[in-house]
Structure 1
Amino acid sequence: MHDIAYIRSHPTEFDAAMKMRGGEAVSDSIIALDLKRREATTKVQEAQSRRNDASKAIGQAMGQGDKDKAEALKAEVAQIKAAMPEWEEAEREASAELSELLASLPNIPAADVPPGSDENENVEVSQWGEKRDFAFEPQEHADIGPALGMDFETGTQLSGARFTFLRGDMARLHRALAQFMLDQQTRENGYTECNPPVLVNDDAMYGTDKLPKFAEDSFRTTDGRWLIPTSEVSLTASVAGHILGDLAEPTRLTAHTLCFRSEAGSAGRDTRGLIRQHQFEKVELVSICRPEDSEAEHERMVRCAEGILEALNLPYRRMLLCVGDMGFGARKTFDLEVWLPGQDAYREISSCSNTGEFQARRMNARYRPEGEKKTRFVHTLNGSGLAVGRTLVAVIENYQNEDGSVSVPEALAPYMGGVTRLEPAA
């Protein structure tokens, strides 16, 4: 959500930001609606005040024996009462129209976000790791996986396209990755482990900017709850409506959960394999911090995600997303793209975003600086640390052997119960 006071004071800058995000100039409409709302609010407040004053005056007039004045005041009160519903409705309509318009507008990009319309204009910031030199032609995980326990046929049989059934050591490797990620983020990086609900209400989805824009990309239950697209929703919304303390140290939360996405609009993309699923697992990172700390916290979060890839010795690159490729609620985003030799390409495995106060305004999450009475909106950040299924894909493709087996990365040995290699079924 956007700050009305900022829009009134900086309409040109706001319109320029919306145009960068592919939208239109809307500050005039917002300011007009805001004026309409405030005028309606003032009229309601003035009417309420006059009604209260007149009601008190009735008693005084009656006490003085002035029946004519009392009757005139009663008539005025009745007139105000009759007109109030119309004025209150005008206030509600203006507020709802303004809220609907503001909720449809994306976040303002940070000053250092590069211009651009799509992923082709993202900027590579850095690369890490040496790409393995294979003595054979590396295969994609979708070709290696079935013999190792990655059962696409059963997943489709049970649930339809974009579902997978993992078996045996493949399922164990997937679990090991999640456990390893959680241990790293909690023991090494100071995040607090959480086990949040994966079903949430409208307020949680709205507060984290998933509604109304992304309703069609999410699954909804028959009783009106939503299956989370990421535990960013549950973790971030856990501070909705709260007034936190000084936040001298950011609040850092992590969770390993199931995630659900309808993948609306992705027909024909990544139809093979585990890259784009309706149901997947992710270790999410969320930070709640003071505005002056959010840029440093963003860098720290990205490094926490990069640390997983480095511990697994998976080559990757960091990309700074251009304006046209950023998510709706982000003011700045870094993507981590892991090298997949079977595809001969880098693919996204983590996206770490600083949303500034955009989400905090939507869910009214604030903090009180030490020694101050006035509260301020927090800044919220979120990122993948990492997407478990996509990390499994990266391990399979980077650690594959010519005989179709896959070696287990050394970092995962403590979680694999002595299994050092996934062997293809005979």
Structure 2
Amino acid sequence: MLDIQLLRKDLDSALRRLQTRKTPQPFLDEARFAALESERKGVQIRTEALQSQRKTLSKQIGILKSQEPDTPADDLLAQVEAANAELETCSQRLEELQAALQTMLLAVPNLPDERIPVGSNESANIVRRNWSPEWDIPGFAFPVRDHVDIGAPLGLDFDTATKLSGARFAVLRGPIARLHRALAQFMLDVHTTQHGYTECYTPYIVRAHALRGTGQLPKFEADLFAAKKGGQDGEEAQDDGAMYLIPTAEVTLTNFVQDTLLAESALPILLTAHTPCFRSEAGSAGRDTRGLIRQHQFDKVEMVQIVHPDAADAALESMTHHAEAILQKLGLAYRVVELCTGDLGFAACRTFDLEVWLPGQNAYREISSISHCGDFQARRLQARFKNAQGKNEWVHTLNGSGLAVGRTLVAVLENYQNADGSISIPPALQPYMGGLERLVASPDAN
């Protein structure tokens, strides 16, 4: 959530920065915001005047009672009663106005960092660096196939998944299921033993307030799978009982610090988790309908850092390198892309995407997004720390994939394919595969 003081002090500047995200800027009704703020100021001024009047009247009554105990103070008491009644009305209206402003702010995305490229879509993104493996990936002296064709004999099964759940689901069994599990374990081991993250196991279903805290609600409700409708089982009124399947472990991990005041010495906090992720992909009709690239259910190893504001830029760089390390250890060529304002996620102020080379598509495809959210999520979560001066300050939050397991599986299948249909297992994964050097079709896969 944006700091409302930024909008109060310089609304035009904030709107100009928001405008760079999309054209036209759809996030904030400027006229309604101005009207609500104007009324809020008026009610606030009247409240302060009434409080001052009541204080003065109370003093007058006290003086009167001390100097002339038998003199009635009915007129003064009536004025106090009238002031109290009006104060109650003002208080109720102020709550209504604050709630309306809060609702507006929940729909406004983060302000883009002033250092990032300005552009309306991904065409304005900037490639910051490329990386290719030092060892040779087998050359393709044969027609290159995509992961769908490669994976079928190894246990990648979309037909069974369609019977079970419909389109955009997959069943993995036999060799390919083992490879998928190995990838997730490998990623967790690298992040926990080499990068300093604490491994976590978190719920896959969360209440609505957790999704509001990280920015998925209210704007992206159509992209979520509801696990339970609201108003059941006497759940807390603030959530109306609604629960959702997580779209990413960013939600659960970041919410660890919800309504928390941390000691400065507790920062930074580095967390990682391997979870399934559930997304309806409401806005992606017709995109990537073939294969594992865009599924309703997929696995991801998520990284989250909760840091001191002064350390946030360095944390963004380190997290990007942590995700890159996985690709480098797997010997997968990739590039790092800085997103422009128009391609930025809702909660992010700055993002680096990692795009892995997929020979079956003859293209780079996103495999991780590392996002710096500033204090945007912290304000929604009420997550603070006590700084060296003893004052409460918002933490900064960052999140990123380290990596998307399914897309990494795609990259391994396509980059390590052999002419006979087998897959050479990257050396880094072989210990997780019982020492196997090559994956071949087995009866279990059929």
- Shorter-chain TM-score bucket reads over 0.9
Compute the displacement of 1:121 (Å): 1.8
- Relative to structure 1, the CA distance from residue 145 to residue 66 in structure 2 (aligned partners, 3 Å threshold; closer, same or farther) is farther
Q: Is the CA contact (8 Å cut-off) linking 2:21 and 2:343 kept in structure 1?
A: no
Match of 2:171 in 1: 165
Match of 2:254 in 1: 236
Q: Is the CA contact (8 Å cut-off) linking 1:150 and 1:170 kept in structure 2?
A: yes
- Structure-2 separation of matches of 1:272 and 1:250: 40
How many residues end up aligned between the 2 structures? 424
Compute the displacement of 1:95 (Å): 0.8
TM-score (structure 2 length as normaliser): 0.88
Match of 2:237 in 1: none
- Relative to structure 1, the CA distance from residue 247 to residue 384 in structure 2 (aligned partners, 3 Å threshold; closer, same or farther) is farther
Letter in 1 for 2:323: A
Match of 1:280 in 2: 298
Q: How does 1:165-244 map to 2 (within 5 A)?
A: 165-222=171-228, 223-244=241-262
Superposed CA deviations along residues 325-353 of structure 1, whole A, max 9, x for unmatched, are 11011111000001111111111000001
Q: Is the CA contact (8 Å cut-off) linking 2:116 and 2:340 kept in structure 1?
A: yes
Q: Is the CA contact (8 Å cut-off) linking 2:174 and 2:442 kept in structure 1?
A: no
SS of 1:221 mapped into structure 2: strand
Letter in 1 for 2:358: L
Q: Select 1:110's aligned residue among 91, 109, 113.
A: 113
- Structure-2 separation of matches of 1:202 and 1:44: 34
Q: Is the CA contact (8 Å cut-off) linking 1:247 and 1:290 kept in structure 2?
A: no
Superposed CA deviations along residues 91-135 of structure 1, whole A, max 9, x for unmatched, are 122112211222222111112211111112211111111575311
Compute the displacement of 1:211 (Å): 1.1
Letter in 2 for 1:212: P
- Structure-1 separation of matches of 2:417 and 2:204: 34
Letter in 1 for 2:310: E
- Structure-2 separation of matches of 1:132 and 1:14: 51
Q: Is the CA contact (8 Å cut-off) linking 1:247 and 1:289 kept in structure 2?
A: no
Compute the displacement of 1:267 (Å): 1.0
TM-score (structure 1 length as normaliser): 0.92
Q: How does 1:10-409 map to 2 (within 5 A)?
A: 10-22=10-22, 23=25, 30=33, 32-44=35-47, 46-47=49-50, 65-66=69-70, 68-69=72-73, 71-129=74-132, 133-222=139-228, 223-247=241-265, 249-370=267-388, 372-409=389-426
- Structure-2 separation of matches of 1:127 and 1:8: 42
Compute the displacement of 1:403 (Å): 1.3
Superposed CA deviations along residues 243-274 of structure 1, whole A, max 9, x for unmatched, are 21225852111111111111001111111111
- Relative to structure 1, the CA distance from residue 50 to residue 198 in structure 2 (aligned partners, 3 Å threshold; closer, same or farther) is farther
Compute the displacement of 1:38 (Å): 3.8
Compute the displacement of 1:226 (Å): 1.6
Q: Is the CA contact (8 Å cut-off) linking 1:149 and 1:169 kept in structure 2?
A: yes
Query: Bigger CA drift: 176-185 or 235-244?
Result: 235-244
Superposed CA deviations along residues 34-77 of structure 1, whole A, max 9, x for unmatched, are 343243244345546655776787788778554642x3344334
- Structure-2 separation of matches of 1:154 and 1:109: 43
- Structure-2 separation of matches of 1:365 and 1:94: 24
- Structure-1 separation of matches of 2:165 and 2:48: 56
- Structure-1 separation of matches of 2:276 and 2:70: 73
Q: Is the CA contact (8 Å cut-off) linking 1:232 and 1:284 kept in structure 2?
A: yes
Query: Bigger CA drift: 146-155 or 126-135?
Result: 126-135
SS of 1:383 mapped into structure 2: strand
SS of 1:76 mapped into structure 2: helix
Superposed CA deviations along residues 375-411 of structure 1, whole A, max 9, x for unmatched, are 2111111100000111011111111111111121111
Q: Is the CA contact (8 Å cut-off) linking 2:175 and 2:441 kept in structure 1?
A: no
Q: Is the CA contact (8 Å cut-off) linking 2:175 and 2:442 kept in structure 1?
A: no
- Structure-2 separation of matches of 1:86 and 1:248: 43
Q: Which runs of 5+ in 1 are unaligned?
A: none
SS of 2:209 mapped into structure 1: helix
SS of 2:108 mapped into structure 1: coil
